């Protein structure tokens, strides 16, 4: 099993550009999450999904959108990137014991 994979690993965006962060898991988990981690801080929940076709906002959803058309994929869309979205983004899926498996992260810089 590859677990949770994320692409790209690094990206530099200009202000106002858009991009999609990809997340895929091969563990057949229903629950999936997107977090952002700012320097020296813990992770904050952006969006989550409890299954295909169902998504909901987390703590910091503004400026982001998600979709969940399949169990495996949970992409995060940034529209009109802003410097405040410079962060490391982690995708996670949840196992049967409520443990979360995290992807390797995407380091995004908006300049």
Q: What are the structure tokens assigned to 29, written together? A: 């988990």
Nearer Cβ to other proteins, position 16 or 95? Answer: 95
> What gap in Å lies between CA 69 and CA 43, rounded to an integer?
25
What mask, x for binding other proteins by CB under 8 A, covers residues 24 to 63? -------x-x-x----xxxxxx--x---------xx----
Give the C-alpha separation, 46 to 59, whole Å: 6
Q: Is 64 in the site for other proteins (CB under 8 A)?
A: no
Whole-angstrom distance, CA of residue 91 vs CA of residue 6? 7
CB of 23 to other proteins, least distance (A): 14
Q: Which phi and psi angles does 86 have, rounded to 5°? A: -65, 120
74 lines the binding site for other proteins (CB under 8 A): no
> Rule CB under 8 A: which residues touch other proteins?
31, 33, 35, 40-45, 48, 58-59, 88, 90, 92, 94, 97-105
């Amino acid at each position: 099993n590859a677990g949770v994979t994320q692409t790209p690993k690094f990206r530099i965006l200009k202000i106002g550009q858009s991009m999609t962060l990809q997340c895929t898991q091969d563990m057949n988990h229903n629950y999936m999450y997107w977090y952002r981690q700012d320097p020296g801080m813990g992770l904050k929940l952006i969006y989550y999904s409890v299954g295909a076709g169902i998504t909901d906002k987390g703590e910091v959803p503004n400026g982001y959108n998600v979709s969940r058309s399949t169990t495996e994929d949970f992409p995060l869309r940034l529209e009109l990137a802003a410097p405040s979205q410079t962060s490391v983004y982690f995708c996670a899926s949840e196992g049967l014991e409520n443990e979360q498996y995290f992807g390797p992260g995407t380091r995004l810089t908006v300049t």
